Amino acid sequence: MKKMTILISTFALVLSMAATGFAADTIKLGVAGPHSGDLAPYGIPAMKAAQLVVKKINAQGGILGKQVELLIQDDQCKPEIATNTATKLVTDGADVVLGHICSGATKAALGIYKDAKIPVMSPSATNPPLTQSGDYPNFFRTIASDDMQAKMAVDFAINKLGVKKVAVLHDKGDYGKGFAEFAKKYLDESGKVDVVLFAGITPGAMDYSSIVQKVRKNGAEALIFGGYHPEASKLISQMKRKRLKTIFISDDGVKDNSFLKVAGDAANGAYVTGPRDLSGIPLNAAATAEFKAEYGKEPGAFFQEGYSAALALLNAIEKAGSTDYDAVTHALRTEYVDTPVGRIKFDSKGDAEGVGFSVYKVENGAFVELK
Amino acid sequence: MEYFLELFFGGLTRGSIYALIALGYTMVYGIIQLINFAHGEIYMIGAFVALIVAGVCTIYGLSGVSILILAGIIAVIYASAYGYTLEKIAYRPLRGAPRLSPLISAIGMSIFLQNYVLLAQTSDFLPFPRLIPDFAFMEPVAHIIGSPELVILVTTFITMILLTLLIKKTRVGKAMRATQQDMNMARLVGINVDRIISLTFVIGSALAAIGGVLVASYIGQVNFYIGFLAGVKAFTAAVLGGIGSIPGAVLGGLVLGWAESFAAGYISSAYEDVFTFGLLVVILILRPAGILGKASKQKV
């Protein structure tokens, strides 16, 4: 009996040695994100997406003749843990990393990957400087950054609507004010438009007649509002009542059916930005179906982006023909790949081209995507 | 000048609504020294009832103004019933209790009513039909003062005249004034004080409901939370004018409306509330009892 145990454990030992021996011949995809703690719902869908992608690719024979191995690490969305996570992944020999999820954790970890020359792709870190600062040439993401919406709205106002005077209002909240500040920045930078008014309004105030009158007095041709639908519908109704011709432009917080319902006729002719309609992309539906077949429920936050990031990373390795850092990042920037968020490649800063927002116009009480 | 007038009428409209709600606070305070925190919720319930009535009326094919009047009347009846019941179950049992007890009871009722509407209706914002038509003759000045503002101002004005007549000229009004001056003395001369207190709640609730219906059809949306925010502002108006004083509540409402409108128009809309409450602080420093309030000596 005792001999038997020794025999088995020897076998086990040999087997495990063999496994580590093989490990050099696998492609290692690190996955980092919150998999425990209160922010876990943001990290687990991307992790499961990576598992689904890897399972599928391995079943088809892997990449460059090698199997893909997942290295999963939990960072709890905490910057101080994320640096440990990153070090661990680097030590374990990750070739590419899918992660991290939270912008703060991503920023903390990026330097470590940069020194180790590992390409990193986040499905969810939307903080603009991560790509725009140029500090992290190894960083990519499959989600649009926070300021993309504002840029979209501003480009639309300047190029499509041709307005010269714009008022920017916000609801003083993080989301609305952030949007409004980016909008103002891009308007100022364009040099073609006067920001005639930049102001906060009080959410829940009885009415907005004074601020509407102020918009009129300043002669704004368009009003860009950062905030949510209750204030937006109040504003747009009062603008109509006060006979303003100012064009109303707003954000994703307003792209809600409640806005159409509450503002009614007054909403017609307004523009809002919102995530692109992805339902027409076959891979998107396929990925959701795959998840449902495996887990029997809806995927959750950042699943599609995570799925896309896993596909994009592995595709780049395949196109590059190796896991060499320069070859892989070059492939990410030059080779298109079909993903659930569309057919994408990455720009020089690391943002996915073609991912992000569309402008919608309210026509006859419905949002219509403008191509 | 045009801009000034726009802000002036905007402030006047908002202020007159504040005044309507503030009257309920001040009348109740005048009689039983209670700050009825659930008063804002009565205003919200008025708006919701009007919304339901308007929905039913639209099915029967009635037109704008007739719906407004019918919805207004039913909302007033409902809100009055709520006010009456509120007093009966939440405040009357605490009549002899220390002053803090009914106050806490009032906060409790406020939370209860909010959540009741939240559960019975919805947490969403609901569209309220625009019951006040755009009168064509207003068109040249519609951007300064439109028909909704005009209807609000006229309704508020008429309501306040009726209230003044009720208090100054009728027997009930006389009884109310007597109860306000000295409840025990009023009881001694044969006034049914409990009934007068109930009546005060009914009248205050009716005024709040009128305000609720007017605002909802002016703004075009209702939500279970609107009562809280309007209540805070109206309470401020009542304190500003001198709580307990009826002309004070009206004046306080108007001053508050104008202050907000002009501050938002000429200085900064982001700091609207800062100016409002800054003004309150200044006035309370200069006149601790409010603009028209009488400084009463505490009987020790």
pLDDT tens column, A164-189: 999 999 999 888 898 999 999 999 99
Q: What is the pLDDT of residue A313?
A: 95
Q: What is the pLDDT of residue A17?
A: 47
Instruction: Say yes or no: A167 and A119 in one domain.
Output: no
Q: Picking from B96-110, B139-153, B183-197, which range would have the lowest pLDDT averaged per residue?
A: B139-153
User: A62-79 burial, b if ≥16 CB within 10 A, otherwise e?
Assistant: bbeebebbbbbbbbbbbb
Q: Picking from A91-105, B27-41, B282-296, which range would have the lowest pLDDT averaged per residue?
A: B282-296
Is residue B282 in some structural domain?
yes
What token pair was written down for B123? 């947490």
Residue in A closest to B142 by C-alpha: A242
Instruction: Say yes or no: A225 and A303 in one domain.
Output: no
pLDDT tens-digit readout, A210-239: 999 999 999 999 999 999 999 999 999 999
State the residue for tokens 């990957």.
A113
Is residue B293 in some structural domain?
no
Higher pLDDT, B299 or A271: A271
Rounded to an integer, the average pLDDT of A64-83 is 93
Out of A200, A210, A263, the one facing B10 most closely (by C-beta) is: A210
Instruction: Say yes or no: A135 and A184 in one domain.
Output: no
Instruction: Say yes or no: A126 and A210 in one domain.
Output: no
Is residue B195 in some structural domain?
yes
Is residue A311 in some structural domain?
yes
Question: Residue A210 is part of a domain; what is its CATH number?
Answer: 3.40.50.2300
Q: Which amino acid is at A276?
A: R
Out of B127, B130, B218, the one facing A261 most closely (by C-beta) is: B127
Instruction: Say yes or no: A238 and A319 in one domain.
Output: no
Is residue A1 in some structural domain?
no
pLDDT band (50, 70, 90) for residue A23: very low
Rounded to an integer, the average pLDDT of A250-267 is 90
Out of B7, B142, B270, the one facing A172 most closely (by C-beta) is: B270
A225: nearest Cα among A242, A205, A239: A239
Q: What is the pLDDT of residue A4?
A: 60
Most confident of A60-69, B61-70, B291-300: A60-69
Q: Is the pLDDT of residue B148 over 90?
A: no
Is residue A190 in some structural domain?
yes
A207, A234, A269 - which closes a domain:
A269
Q: Picking from A95-109, A337-351, B137-151, B237-251, which range would have the lowest pLDDT averaged per residue?
A: B137-151
What is the nearest CA distance from A343 to chain B, expressed in angstroms?
37
Q: What is the pLDDT of residue B78?
A: 96
Q: How far is Cα A264 from Cα A283, in angstroms, rounded to an integer?
A: 36
Instruction: Say yes or no: A201 and A304 in one domain.
Output: no
Between the CA of residue B260 and those of A230, A281, B277, what are the distances in Å?
Answer: 20, 50, 10
What token pair was written down for B210? 């009128």
Q: Is the pLDDT of residue B299 over 80?
A: no
Q: Is the pLDDT of residue B251 over 70?
A: yes
**Residue A248's beta-bridge partner residues?**
A223
Chain B contact for A177 (CB, 8 A cutoff):
no
Phi, psi of A363 (to 5 degrees): -130, 125
A102: nearest Cα among A69, A132, A141, A157: A141
Q: How far is Cα B262 from Cα B279, in angstroms, rounded to an integer?
A: 12
Rounded to an integer, the average pLDDT of B248-277 is 91
CB contact under 8 A, B219 and A242: no
Is residue B178 in some structural domain?
yes
Length of chain A equals 371
Chain B contact for A201 (CB, 8 A cutoff):
yes
Instruction: Say yes or no: A178 and A253 in one domain.
Output: yes
Chain B contact for A165 (CB, 8 A cutoff):
no
Contact list in B for residue A167 (CB cut-off 8 A) is: none
Question: Residue B159 is part of a domain; what is its CATH number?
Answer: 1.10.3470
Out of A199, A205, A216, the one facing B268 most closely (by C-beta) is: A199
Contact list in A for residue B225 (CB cut-off 8 A) is: 204
Instruction: List the domain range (segments joined by +) for residue B89.
Output: 2-286
Is residue B292 in some structural domain?
no
Bond prior to B143 in cis (omega within 30° of 0): no
Is residue A358 in some structural domain?
no
Phi, psi of B259 (to 5 degrees): -60, -45
pLDDT band (50, 70, 90) for residue A359: very high
pLDDT band (50, 70, 90) for residue B141: confident
Instruction: List the domain range (segments joined by +) for residue A285.
Output: 27-143+280-344
Q: Is the pLDDT of residue A14 over 70?
A: no
What value of ipTM does the predicted structure carry?
A: 0.88
Is residue A351 in some structural domain?
no
Residue in A closest to B263 by C-alpha: A210
- Would you list the DSSP string of B33-74? ----TTHHHHHHHHHHHHHHHHHHHHHTT--HHHHHHHHHHH
What token pair was written down for A170? 């916000």
Instruction: Say yes or no: A233 and A174 in one domain.
Output: yes
**Residue B87's beta-bridge partner residues?**
none
Residue in A closest to B5 by C-alpha: A213
What's the total number of domains in chain B?
Answer: 1
Contact list in A for residue B265 (CB cut-off 8 A) is: 210-211, 213-214
Give this prediction's pTM: 0.80
Q: Is the pLDDT of residue A29 over 60?
A: yes
Is residue A206 in some structural domain?
yes
What token pair was written down for B23? 């009257």
Local structure of residue A357 (DSSP, 8 states): E
Q: Is the pLDDT of residue A9 over 70?
A: no
CB contact under 8 A, B6 and A172: no
Q: Is the four-CA dihedral A81, A83, A86, A90 of positive or negative sign?
A: negative
pLDDT tens-digit readout, A285-323: 999 999 999 998 888 888 999 999 999 999 999 999 999
Is residue B297 in some structural domain?
no
Is residue B109 in some structural domain?
yes
pLDDT band (50, 70, 90) for residue A19: very low
Is residue A20 in some structural domain?
no
CB contact under 8 A, A200 and B230: no
Q: Give residues with Cβ within 8 angstroms of A137, minimum separation 6.
A: A114, A329, A350
Instruction: Say yes or no: A208 and A235 in one domain.
Output: yes
Q: Assess contact for A46 and A309: CB atoms under 8 A.
A: yes
Q: What is the pLDDT of residue A355?
A: 83
Q: Is the pLDDT of residue A7 over 80?
A: no
Is residue B294 in some structural domain?
no
Q: What is the pLDDT of residue B138?
A: 73
Q: What is the pLDDT of residue B296?
A: 65
What's the total number of domains in chain A?
Answer: 2
Instruction: Say yes or no: A247 and A295 in one domain.
Output: no
What token pair was written down for B109? 């009722």
Is residue A368 in some structural domain?
no
Q: What is the pLDDT of residue B297?
A: 62
Q: Kind of pairing, strands A271-275 and A357-363?
A: antiparallel
B30: nearest Cα among B203, B227, B153: B203
Q: What is the pLDDT of residue A3?
A: 60
Instruction: Say yes or no: A137 and A168 in one domain.
Output: no
Q: Is the pLDDT of residue A205 over 70?
A: yes
Out of B148, B226, B269, the one facing A211 most closely (by C-beta) is: B269
Instruction: Say yes or no: A285 and A314 in one domain.
Output: yes
Rounded to an integer, the average pLDDT of B60-75 is 87
E strand residue ranges, chain B? 126-127, 221-222
Alpha helices in A73-201 (DSSP H): 79-91, 103-115, 129-132, 148-155, 174-190
Q: Assess contact for A46 and A143: CB atoms under 8 A.
A: no
Q: Which amino acid is at A202?
A: T
